[in-house]
């Protein structure tokens, strides 16, 4: 049986309806697994039936005998029973092997859910093959960069709110694919806004703590437009006030690396329509024209040199290589100047693109 996509399951009103048998929920993205586990824990059984018919165990603290004992109980004053084993990735292989007979012939009235959070069960193991054939596999993989925008829209709309393109871009640049953190910050925002209100930059600055004026999003825009004065001013402020700006050089390097990759895709994409290009870049269509402007300043050859610079400063940020003894403030300013300086070598650009 094909694995069920955890992300798609979470988006459903009743993600796990009247399932019985055995389920393995696994994957490297814990966010969707946590959402499904919370749903099961809180809502799969009627509140009056939970005390007698729900057992929650943890992989590090349990063994196969305890799981089997709970799974083989018949429901009391209910037609179904739930056994939820969280952190199942911490269970030794020998304990999984002891569960094989039950996986092959489970009790119809029990839903046994094994949650392997942040890790996939080895597909070669008998336990996995048996669960794949006799039960269900729910797979939770990390979102790809181009999927993040759509997921964020869906999550905010589900809460009954909207978000401006600039606000969305700022959150994505700062939080990226850390879905649990993104969900927590969005929840913080909606708790302080009126129902249906649009999330704006001032809300993010006030409730999340990301400055709408001094942030990496503004820095990459200044670099993209070759606005040296603004870029240097931002680098100076961010480097000297990292806590106030929620800034770190490694985070900055990662954001700028993704930024230059997007500009590179502009050069490679030909003449795609704005919506198709936005989907390719994983950005809101509002920003497509900005990236076209950036591409005029950064040829493929210049982009390659910028990426080499970023890799160099990633090492320096970790205390390695020449200049690793400098602080983040000095390194941030050096990085910005190095990127801007690549624009003075036009001849190399022409050679590298011919």
3-state class of 114 per DSSP?
strand
- Per residue in 200-255, pLDDT (tens digit) is 999 998 999 888 888 888 999 999 999 999 999 999 888 888 776 678 888 899 89
pLDDT tens-digit series, residues 98-128 = 999 999 999 999 999 999 999 999 999 999 9
- Residues 272, 215: Cα–Cα separation, whole Å: 30
Under a CB-based contact definition with an 8 Å cutoff, are residues 285 and 274 in contact?
Answer: yes
Strand-strand pairing, 81-86 and 198-199: unpaired
Q: Are 97 and 126 in contact (CB under 8 A)?
A: yes
Question: How high is the pLDDT of residue 353?
Answer: 43
The CATH number for 152's domain is: 1.10.8
Question: Do 105 and 75 reside in the same domain of the chain?
Answer: yes
Statement to judge: residues 287 and 251 lie in one domain:
yes
Token pair belonging to 298:
């950064």
CATH number at residue 346: 1.20.272.10
H-helix or E-strand spanning residue 201 = helix 201-203
Which residue range(s) make up the domain with 42?
A: 4-139
**pLDDT, tens digit, 9 for 90 and up, residues 277-323:** 988 888 888 899 999 999 999 999 999 999 999 999 988 888 776 65
Q: What pLDDT is recorded for position 209?
A: 85
CB neighbours (10 Å) of residue 296? Answer: 12
Question: Do 113 and 157 fall within a single domain?
Answer: no
Choose the final residue of a domain: 79, 111, 139: 139
86 and 49 fall within a common domain: yes
Number of domains in the chain: 3
Residues 233 and 309 reside in one and the same domain: yes
Q: Are residues 17 and 44 in the same domain?
A: yes
| Pairwise CA distance, residues 128 & 130, whole Å | 5
pLDDT above 70: percentage of residues in the chain: 94
Assess whether 221 and 236 both reside in one domain. yes
Residue 49 neighbours by CB distance under 10 Å = 18
Residue 346 pLDDT exceeds 60: no
> Over the stretch 134-151, which tens digit does the pLDDT of each residue have?
999 999 999 987 788 889
Distance from C-alpha of 269 to C-alpha of 135, rounded to nearest angstrom: 43
For residues 40 and 119, state if they share a domain: yes
Task: Give the domain-ending residue among 106, 139, 172.
Answer: 139
Cα 40 from chain centroid (whole Å): 22
Tens of pLDDT, residues 149-185: 889 999 999 999 999 998 998 888 888 889 999 999 9
Q: Are residues 342 and 322 in the same domain?
A: yes
- Rounded to 5 degrees, φ, ψ at 109 are -90, -5
DSSP letters spanning 149-190:
HHHHHHHHHHTT-EE-HHHHHHHHHHHTT-HHHHHHHHHHHH
CATH number for the domain spanning 93: value is 3.40.50.300
Rounded CA-CA distance 240/329 in Å is 5
Tell me which of 191, 208, 225 is where a domain ends: 208
Claim to verify: residue 236 and residue 283 sit in the same structural domain: yes
pLDDT at 26 over 90: yes
């Amino acid at each position: 049986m094909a694995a069920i996509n955890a992300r798609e399951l979470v988006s459903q009103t009743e993600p796990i309806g009247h399932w019985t048998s055995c389920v393995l929920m696994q994957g490297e993205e814990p966010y969707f697994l946590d959402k499904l586990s919370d749903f099961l824990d809180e809502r799969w059984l009627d509140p009056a039936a939970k005390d007698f018919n729900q057992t929650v165990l943890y992989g590090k603290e349990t063994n196969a005998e305890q799981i089997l004992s709970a799974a083989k109980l018949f429901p009391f004053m209910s037609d179904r029973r739930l056994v939820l084993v969280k952190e199942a990735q911490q269970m030794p292989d020998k304990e999984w092997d002891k569960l094989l007979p039950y996986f092959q012939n489970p009790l119809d009235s029990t839903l046994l859910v094994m949650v392997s959070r942040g890790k996939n069960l080895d597909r070669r193991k008998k336990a996995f093959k048996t669960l794949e054939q006799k039960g269900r596999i729910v797979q939770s993989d990390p979102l790809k960069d181009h999927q993040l925008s759509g997921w964020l829209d869906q999550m905010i709309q589900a809460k009954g709110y909207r978000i401006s393109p600039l606000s969305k871009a700022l959150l994505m640049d700062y939080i990226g694919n850390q879905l649990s953190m993104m969900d927590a910050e969005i929840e913080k925002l909606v708790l302080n806004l009126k129902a249906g209100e649009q999330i704006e930059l001032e809300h993010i600055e006030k409730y999340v703590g990301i400055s709408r004026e001094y942030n990496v999003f503004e820095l990459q825009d200044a670099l993209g437009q070759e606005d040296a004065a603004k870029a240097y001013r931002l680098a100076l402020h961010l480097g000297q006030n990292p806590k106030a700006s929620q800034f770190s050089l490694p985070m900055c390097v990662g954001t700028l690396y993704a930024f230059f990759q997007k500009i590179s895709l502009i050069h490679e994409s030909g003449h795609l329509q704005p919506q198709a290009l936005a989907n390719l870049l994983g950005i809101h269509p509002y920003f497509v024209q900005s990236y076209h402007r950036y591409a005029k300043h950064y040829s493929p050859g210049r982009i390659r040199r910028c990426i080499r610079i970023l890799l160099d400063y990633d090492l320096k940020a970790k205390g390695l290589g020449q200049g690793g003894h400098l602080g983040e403030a000095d390194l941030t300013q050096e990085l910005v100047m190095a990127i801007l300086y690549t624009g003075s070598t036009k001849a190399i650009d022409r050679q590298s693109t011919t």
